[in-house]
Chains A and B, each alone.
Chain A
Amino acid sequence: MVIAGLLVATGALLNMLLFGFKVWGMLCLAAGAGAALMGSSVIRNKLYPASDGSMIRYNLIIAVVLAVIVLAAPVMFGNSSGPENLDRAIKKSASLVAVGDLDRAGKLLMDIDTKYPGVPEVQLNLSTVHLMQGRPEEAARVLESSKESRYYNANECFNYAMTYYQRGNYDDAMVYLKKALKQEPNIEDGCLYASECARRQGDYKAAQYYARRIVEMKPTLPLGHVQLARVELMVMEYHEAAAELEKALELKPDDSLKQEILRLKEEVGYYQSKL
């Protein structure tokens, strides 16, 4: 126990020497030194003269107390800055987004963004929250705040594209979607929106290419088949469209998508009924 205590104390001391004095560091140093002292045979025999079995109990108690202090001190007395807190906050915001609590996620991310400006992950997540809340202008503002200083990764390019898409600017959305897909060709949503942007631009060749990619990447996604059917119908490939709609129906889509499928099937049926 003496050695373990001394090791902890040395670690806390080294940390303070390298990175400056910290209250939690002092507590850990004291806890380590205390454990070393308490674990030494002189003090232990005075406090707890007993057999081997109870010695293990005595050491275990010291170890638990030491561990609690080492873990609790940084949490209680550590300052709120530093990469560890940032990481935690980012993870928490991601969890909040995942459960749909966009308001809290947005507030948390805005707080972090104020405290640590220019952190790419924070800006990415914050822009995602804004996009999910249907505020593309806000999302664009967040993303543009550090536009000059660095390159965008695929996810950021995608969010950027979404800020244009939500505002109905399909040309610029397509530019950023292409950038995102150039970096990460397997972003499913990227392909889906690229297909839709191309469809709205009237570029059916590209729309069909991207829709086929979604279907290849995720054949279990009903929306992918529906998107492909939409494009195929636009260029009168109605047999293929009918097949895609059947596949989409087999995948048990939600009600709104089911309505869309039935509407498209009706249109396909028009052509087939004429044969």
Chain B
Amino acid sequence: MITDNGIKNEKKTWGWLLLAFFLMDSWWLGDSLVLWLTGRPVPFYLHAFLMAASFFLGLITATIFFKKSFAFNGSSRSTFLTLLCGTVTITAAITATPVVMKAWVYYLTGMIRDGNVNGYAASLSLLGLILLISIVAVFACFIAITFMIYSVPVHKTGKVAAALGVVGLKRYLTLLLLTMAAILGVILLLNVMKMLEVFLAGLLPYGFFSRYILSMVLAGGKTALAFFLIYSVRVLLAKDGDGIREKIEQPVSGSFIYPVAVAVLTVALIISNITPYLSGPKQLADNIQARIVRADNLRNLGQSGEASSEYIKARADLLAFQAYLRGISEITKIGELKEANELLSQAEEVYANSPFIPYFKGMLQRLADPQNGNSPDINKYFLAAAHNSDTIPEARIWTINGFRSAGEVNKANEALNLVIARGVFNDRFAGLDDANENELVVLLKETERIKALLNERELDVLLNRAEYENETSLLSEMLEYAGRNTNPEADYQVALLAEHIPYPAYMYEYAKKYFADRANENDGQKEIEAALFTSYMYVKSGHAGEAEVLIEAMYEKYPESKDIACDYAYTLLENQKPARAIEVIDAHKGEKDSCQLYLKAIASMENHDYNTALEAVGGLCLIMETPGSDPKVVRELDDYVYRFLLEYLNLCARESGEAENFLAELENRKDPAVLYHYVMGLNAKKAEDYERSNLHLKKLLEINSALAYPYYLLGVNYNEMAGYKKQDCYPLAEKYFLNFIDLRPDVVEGYFCLGSVYKHTGDLTRATRAFLRVADYNPYRDNPLYEPFGMYNHALDEIDRSREEGQR
């Protein structure tokens, strides 16, 4: 049992402990002095020396406290060594925390990835880990305090630590309660400190003095906590203290294993903790890479705008960093900046607001012209970088001498106070000034690797912009990107963008490139997909002959592919080879799908084999005529039948005699019913017999109300009846067009016709809306290959006219 005999008066000597804690953390005073004297960042070695010196001073002062407070018999040297041993024990426990946490995070990430742990279990395990770490840390403090209270000689510290462990196990409940109290005390202290910081920062002069007083307050808090821990140890050892004392007084020699082992462990942990932060430039590269990964995650979550912004910022920062590395090399070799300036300009083009651009500009100018390193011209760069103090806080350090040389002492003092308040005394990048070529090359390689990662994502940025920007203005950038990168995806996207504008030459060129890239990848499925895309682009850009050649070769290579066979038949039809198209379709065994049936119908009609054509269309209409069919499927089939109707109208215009033969065959069969009513409806409309046409079209809706085109054709009929026959049919036309749009919002003709109805009824607002839809949301705009009637341009004219009339 420790009695008052063993303790002198630790309460009266609290000031020494306060001073010890203050000194241990007073390295910043030395750094501030160096900063004040030089106006430059504190060199790393000097900073490390000042930290070690302040810690050493603190330990000496703490030794005085313990000598004055407790019944030490040994010399000051032995007291200091015992204190050092206790301090090392505490340091080992504290420095182990980040290592343990990192290991836990890695382990947990793996578990979550494999689905072996859920969120609650992860949170619970984190709480458990924090509790365990806290217990270990508090127990380490108990060990250190026991060493000091009992003035344990260094060679007996291992024995005492073990004995305390035994006491801890024996009195685990007391230990746990004391630990919890200590944890609560630490939490309380941290919160009080936070509040005090806010309070004091509002009253005390910002910077040096504020930080000084806050350090004092923090030292006071630590002193209070230390006293609580001393009291806790007394409580814990109330009954076992004598046993500990006996162990110390035993004549056995003891050993140095414990202090040496703990010291080695502490050194290893400190090294592992600070190593990642030693190289500022490497840290910046790692940080940019981490941002890319974060942006990838955002992109995968669908937040493409945010991801895109992060990629842009990361690229600008990286370019600025590369400029700095290149600049150092150029200044050493040729004495001037060339490529570095180009890189900085590139960074500005990418994202002018990157704080790294002015910062590295300033650093390079300073390096290139050391005589004028503090000139206002250079200072303005550092000020611009310091504006974003969170990213490059060290930029402000360089402004101190800039202001001083300009005679602005107050501003220099303000800058100095700001860096002291923010605890920024070093420059992460200043060390690179003296870096040798090899170091620069290693860093440049690292930046090139990250740049390659960003290049892969540049396309994502462009695609994100395509979501809201004008496609025409974006095309040049896409072309530039595709020119710089051999990326099939880029060629694919350029071709797609060119199709939307439209720009047939680029559609053709980039689809061709895309196919060439994919063909070299030796992946059958990818090659087939690329061939289908390319053949489509060839046809739509007016190169149907080449499309046939391409897809014929693919047909020979992949004769079993239904998609290739279908596309081959399509290209053959585009090149007016219906007989061969039928051969290709028929060569494919098995049940024909809707695309094959449609192509066969078209090819047979071109071949004047109307019986086969009607049979093929019959295959398409079968589902449409079956009650309860899936409306989606019905709509798709309806689209094929409507396209067949357009081909029939072409036939009427081209070869009226053949069209009559077809009609005779259809009238004879009256089957398929859907086609029959469509054709009859169209013919009646041509003859301006709208009533009969409407009857046929309404019959179609009776067969299946999910059909969309009957609504469209009814709308057209009523529109013409209102226009040509001056009947009051616009409301009906509006109704049917709206029904059509409801079923087929993707077909631009519906909006165009509806706009016309509103125009004629004088409803300019709704007319403009409908025409806007044609102009803005029609993906193929004024592409004559898609829109032979030029609805886009008509719509634009109508919008202008409506606006003019509206203004009148």
Contacts and interface: CB of A to CB of B under 8 A. Distances in A.
A74 B305 contact: no
Nearest to A88: B202
A271 B146 CA distance: 84
Contacts of A275: 735, 738-739, 742
B359 to A, nearest CB: 12
Contacts of B200: 71
Interface in B359-414: 380, 383-384, 387-388, 410, 413-414
Contact of A3 (B16, B207, B776): B16
A52 to B, nearest CB: 7
Given A70-B213, A183-B309, A209 B467 contact: yes
Given A183-B353, A209-B467, A237 B738 contact: no
Contacts of A87: 206
A7 B19 contact: yes
A184 B33 CA distance: 39
B49 interface: no
Contact of B216 (A8, A25, A75, A209): A8
Contacts of B769: 233-236
A7 B308 contact: no
Contacts of A150: 383-384, 387
A45 B351 CA distance: 70
Interface string B405-449: 000001001101110000000000000000000000000000000
A78 interface: yes
Nearest to B61: A3
Given A81-B410, A234-B769, A236-B751, A182 B309 contact: yes
B203 A4 contact: no
B15 interface: yes
B244 interface: no
A151 B388 CA distance: 10
B772 A18 contact: no
Count chain A CB atoms within 10 A of each CB in B11, B353, B770 and give the residue with the most: B353
Interface string B196-213: 000011111111111011
A186 B206 contact: no
Contact of A151 (B204, B205, B352): B352
Nearest to A70: B213
A213 B306 CA distance: 10
Interface stretch (A164-172, A198-206, A245-253): A198-206
A19 B417 contact: yes
A235 B351 contact: no
Given A19-B208, A82-B205, A205-B468, A152 B306 contact: no
Nearest to A28: B209
A265 to B, nearest CB: 16
Contacts of A182: 309, 312, 351
Interface residues of A, number: 60
Contacts of B738: 271, 274-275
Given A151-B384, A204-B776, A3 B206 contact: no
A186 B298 CA distance: 12
A182 B16 CA distance: 55
Contacts of B220: 4
B387 A237 contact: no
Given A52-B11, A75-B203, A151-B352, A234 B772 contact: yes
Given A84-B205, A210-B468, A275-B739, A11 B213 contact: yes
B29 interface: yes
A83 B418 contact: yes
Given A52-B11, A84-B206, A150-B384, A206 B309 contact: no
Contact of B770 (A4, A236, A274): A236
Interface residues of B, number: 65
A18 B208 contact: yes
A91 B129 CA distance: 39
B92 interface: no
A153 B353 contact: yes
B402 to A, nearest CB: 14
Interface string B180-207: 0000000000000000000011111111
Count chain B CB atoms within 10 A of each CB in A4, A88, A233 and give the residue with the most: A4
Given A12-B209, A182-B351, A235 B417 contact: no
A61 interface: no
B70 interface: no
A4 B205 contact: no
B87 to A, nearest CB: 20
Interface in B729-769: 734-735, 738-739, 741-742, 745, 751, 769
A185 B417 contact: no
A186 B22 CA distance: 43
B353 A152 contact: yes
Contact of A2 (B15, B384, B417): B15
A86 B777 CA distance: 51
**Which applies to chain B's interface (DSSP): helix, strand, loop or mixed?**
helix
B216 A7 contact: yes
Contacts of B205: 15, 24, 74, 78, 82, 84
Contact of B772 (A1, A152, A213, A235): A235
B329 interface: no
B18 interface: yes
A14 interface: yes
A3 B19 contact: yes
Contacts of A234: 769, 772
A87 B352 CA distance: 27
A120 interface: yes
A51 interface: no
B572 to A, nearest CB: 37
Contacts of B29: 14
Contacts of A82: 205-206, 414, 417
Interface string A235-247: 1110100000000
B56 interface: no
A114 interface: no
Interface string A182-193: 111110000000
B318 to A, nearest CB: 17
Given A7-B216, A149-B380, A183-B353, A236 B773 contact: yes
A121 to B, nearest CB: 10
Interface in B214-231: 216, 220
A202 B769 CA distance: 11
Contacts of A4: 15, 18, 216, 220
Contact of A204 (B209, B384, B751, B777): B777
B580 to A, nearest CB: 42
Contact of B204 (A71, A186, A239): A71
A128 to B, nearest CB: 18
Contacts of B32: 18
Nearest to A195: B468
Contact of A14 (B212, B751, B772): B212
A64 B22 CA distance: 20
B560 interface: no
A71 B201 CA distance: 10
A18 B32 CA distance: 9
Contacts of A183: 309, 313, 351, 353
B36 interface: yes
B306 A186 contact: yes
Interface in A3-23: 3-4, 7-8, 11-12, 14-15, 18-20
Given A18-B33, A183-B309, A204-B772, 11 more contacts: A1-B15, A2-B15, A14-B208, A71-B203, A83-B417, A151-B352, A182-B351, A204-B776, A206-B468, A236-B741, A274-B738
10 closest Cβ pairs, A-B complex: A84-B206, A3-B15, A209-B468, A11-B212, A206-B468, A185-B305, A185-B309, A185-B306, A15-B209, A204-B776
30 contacts: A1-B15, A3-B19, A4-B18, A4-B220, A7-B22, A7-B216, A11-B209, A14-B212, A18-B208, A71-B204, A74-B209, A83-B206, A84-B201, A84-B206, A150-B383, A150-B387, A152-B353, A153-B387, A182-B309, A182-B351, A205-B468, A205-B777, A210-B468, A213-B305, A216-B302, A236-B769, A236-B770, A274-B738, A275-B735, A275-B738
